[in-house]
Structure 1
Amino acid sequence: MSYSFPVLTNQEILLCLSELEIPATELDLQKPTFETAKQIYYSLVQLLVGVTREELQQPVFEAVDALEFPALHEESIGTLAFNRALTDLVLSAGIHDFALKDLYKPESGRTRRILSAVINFAKFREEKVQAYEELRENSDATQERYAQLQEANLTLNNQLRNIMSERDAQQPEVDQLERETAELAAKIAALNKEHTGLTTELESLKATDNELSDKVAKEKSHVDSAHQEAQRLRGQIVQSPDRLQRALTDLSNTVEKDKSAVGDAEKKSRELQTRLDTLSKVERDVQKCVNMMMEADVEMAKHKEISRSIKSAKSKIQANGEEIWRLDTEKQHLKRQEQITLDRMQRLAQQGGLKQEAAVAAVAAAREEKCAVESHNAATQARLAELEHQIRAVEQHVKDGRSQHRREMKTVSVKYGMLETKVKEYQQQLLSALPPSPQLGN
């Protein structure tokens, strides 16, 4: 298959060779010789094939050992390697009729045509190598980022397993606290019910106390009236001392009875007041217990919220794992694109018979593909940065959740101990404050 490429002038060839730092003159192109052509071709092979002069001279020891007289072939080995590398380069550049006479007996027209093809290939290779290097750098960066994300994901999974282990280890204690909280809630409900009955009884006792106070006030009024009556009677002169004596005796008996009733009433009033004060104190203690139970409920709610946060963190870590899997898929896609690009470069190099217009179109398509790949890589980098930010946020959230969980569990334990002590004190005070049932009946 023929390959169309522009045949350059000698000045254009010399300019391109000068840019490639290959020494050549106008005479070397007009009247080429074996020595001048060999030097130019040697430089092009080293530059475009990627082998050095030492590598070309290095023999294949397995092949040399197969020769009967290896010393006779020391110079021919390098020459054969150079001829093979030059032939491959010229064929890739699109010259399919290259022969050794173009090297050993070069002609001006053939040399100019071969150099034009190689220079055209060098320009095409320079564009493709740049795109290939960019793709390879992006692929290496993506692979490195993928490894970092895998390590971060492994760390997060380990942290999550540790958190779940701690949570499972603390779950029996939490269940025990919840059961004890339910028992305390039942006790407080019973105490509230008992408190309601005591409040009713207290109101009844207050009414009784008010009645007794009124009665005492009336008895005191009667006593004062009796004293006044006694004084008035003493001031009167009567004809019957016996009758007066009996009246005084009756009045004295009445006064003593009233005094006894007043003393009993005052004593009962003091007892009722003492019971009232005790019940008021008990009521305050019960209210404190209720408040502490409400605080305990709030702490338990916070604990449940932390548990939900841990579940949410686990979901986010799972989502991050899915994102890493997606990035892995994108990395594989980039590798396939890279391989496709390499295959395309090889095909373009082997199919050197394409026309110049097709080459220009391929270059434009490659540039568009490069722009698309760069845009895709930029989007991938942005997604990777966002994922890294989310992972750091999840790590901080899990760390904060663990610290808050420890603090709240410690606070719940302390408050539970205080609550248990208060309940025991309340029960003791309640038992000591309430008299036996027969006395209440009396």
Structure 2
Amino acid sequence: MTENTFPVYSADAIVNFYRTEVLTGQEAKHFTKSDLTPAPKPEAVQTLYMRVLHLLYRFRPESHSMVPHLENIQYSVYHEGATSIMIVYMRMRQFLPMCLIYDFSLNDLLAPKKQKTLTVLSAIMNFLHFRKQRMDMILEKQAKLRADMDRLQAYTKGNLEAEKKIEMLTTIPPEQQAEADELANALSELQATTMHEYQEVNAKNDNIAEWKTKIAEKTQKLAQVKVDVSNLKEDISKLKSQIVESPEELKSQMERMRENVKDIKNSIEETDERVVELQSMVQSVTHTEAEIQQMYNLLQDLESSMNNTKRRQEEHQELIAQYEKKQKELKNLCIEEGQLKRALGMKLDKESKQNIRRQKKREMKEQHVQDVLGQCNQIHQKREDMADKIQEISRETQQLKAKIQSLRDVCSKETEKAQSLYDTLSTSMDELHRRIEMHVVDLKHDVTKMSANF
């Protein structure tokens, strides 16, 4: 008792727990602390054990009193009282090793002690707490699995929709294919003509720059000539005031001046003609600039369409990235689902194997019990025969007393045989219980391994 791995609760805590968690209806109302202390009542303890077995294994309390219908059992009603106790005892011997109680005896049902009963009920209470906790964990895992399955379905649906959108964005409709080809051809032609116009404009700009430099030089020379003319006029005016010129020199000077004026007029006319040519070139340049502006507008429209195409391509890339991400999540979920399925399959396999072993042991035990009951029925039949003989001998005279004594000796021998059979039966039952305990220990070890793997 001092080496228990579970706490031993007080009587009040045990009563409150079993009234709320195990018992129902009138049984919960009538179950009190006086049923356990100071001396436990066998009926209350047996009722508790039956309700625990019904809660865990769905073994109804009325099923404990059912006697199997065998051919060699007479007056089966007489066996019902002992049968219910024995079945509860065997079921509890199978169940209590799971609660770490290994010394449960038949006396704990027929004449229970206070400390032992509280220890057993505390162990069962601890096991029920553990069972409730594990059931909550399993329900949480089931809910999480359902949520993961729903999320997986939503992800697969989203992936299918994304694939449809990607296919719709990447494929050009047949009615727009010709228009797209025309736009591509027009774009290539526009780029070629634009490059040619740019080259012509650059050449014209170079020519305009050269003519501007020439005009600047001509205007500079013209200004210099005007300055020279003005200087000459001043010099002439000064010379006129100082010297009386001869008519011949004056004529020669006038002729030279006329020639200079003609040269200046010719240069001015040439300059005007060059200016007209430059104005016509400027007009052509403005016309070319207007055409270039039109081309620029077309290029802007083309750039906007290219930006839209680029934006669609970026959306396409984002959708592809989301699709790959969803595929990875889907793959991870599939891996988790496979692991859960494998773990569940292993668990179900182990449970099926354990159930098969339990079924075999149960069948062996039932066969053994039936054999023992058959032997007991034979002994009972012999006792009835001997009782009939004793009744016949009682009607006879005193001379048959010796025979009666011998028959009594035979009855004592038969009882000794029955006692020996009972002893062998008890030893075999103890050996069977020891094997069951060893199997339960191995089963616990397997369960710990399985939980660690899980």
TM-score (norm 2): 0.51
Aligned to 2:54: 46
Written as runs of structure 1 = structure 2, the 5 A alignment for 1:23-102 is 43=51, 46-50=54-58
Written as runs of structure 1 = structure 2, the 5 A alignment for 1:77-226 is 104-106=80-82, 110=86, 113-114=89-90, 116-117=92-93, 119-120=95-96, 123=99, 131=134, 134-135=137-138, 137-168=140-171, 181-226=187-232
Higher RCO, Cα 8 Å, sep 6+: 1
Offset, 1:335: 3.2
Aligned to 1:364: 445
Question: 2-side partners of 1:123 and 1:349: how far apart?
Answer: 18
Cα displacement string for residues 76-113 of structure 1 (whole angstroms, at most 9, x for unaligned residues): xxx7x7766x97xxxxxxxxxxx967951418995784
Unaligned ranges ≥5, structure 2: 1-10, 69-74, 101-126, 363-431
Offset, 1:362: 1.8
Aligned length: 315
Corresponding letter in the other structure for 1:268: R
1:308 pairs with 2:314: no
Offset, 1:228: 3.6
Q: Does the residue aligned with 1:106 lie in a helix, a strand or coil?
A: helix
Question: 2-side partners of 1:260 and 1:311: how far apart?
Answer: 77
1:333 pairs with 2:342: yes
Name which of 231, 244, 252 aligns with 1:237.
Answer: 244
Cα displacement string for residues 191-222 of structure 1 (whole angstroms, at most 9, x for unaligned residues): 33223322332332233223322432343244
Offset, 1:292: 5.9
Cα displacement string for residues 163-198 of structure 1 (whole angstroms, at most 9, x for unaligned residues): 542453599688776665544443332233223322
Name which of 344, 351, 374 aligns with 1:342.
Answer: 351
Offset, 1:283: 7.9
Offset, 1:37: 11
Aligned to 1:382: none
Q: Is the 8 A contact 2:347 2:450 kept in 1?
A: no
1:261 pairs with 2:237: no
Shift of the 193–184 alpha-carbon distance from structure 1 to 2, 3 Å rule, reads same
Q: Is the 8 A contact 2:54 2:60 kept in 1?
A: yes
Question: 1-side partners of 2:84 and 2:257: how far apart?
Answer: 165
Name which of 245, 248, 252 aligns with 2:254.
Answer: 248
Offset, 1:154: 0.5
- Aligned-residue Cα RMSD (Å) equals 5.2
Question: 2-side partners of 1:262 and 1:327: how far apart?
Answer: 97
Offset, 1:319: 2.7
Name which of 332, 335, 339 aligns with 1:323.
Answer: 332
Corresponding letter in the other structure for 1:46: H
Shift of the 114–324 alpha-carbon distance from structure 1 to 2, 3 Å rule, reads closer
Q: Does the residue aligned with 1:237 lie in a helix, a strand or coil?
A: coil
Offset, 1:302: 5.6
Q: Is the 8 A contact 2:64 2:88 kept in 1?
A: no
What is the identity percentage for the equivalent residue pairs of Structure 1 and Structure 2?
A: 12
Q: Is the 8 A contact 1:45 1:51 kept in 2?
A: yes
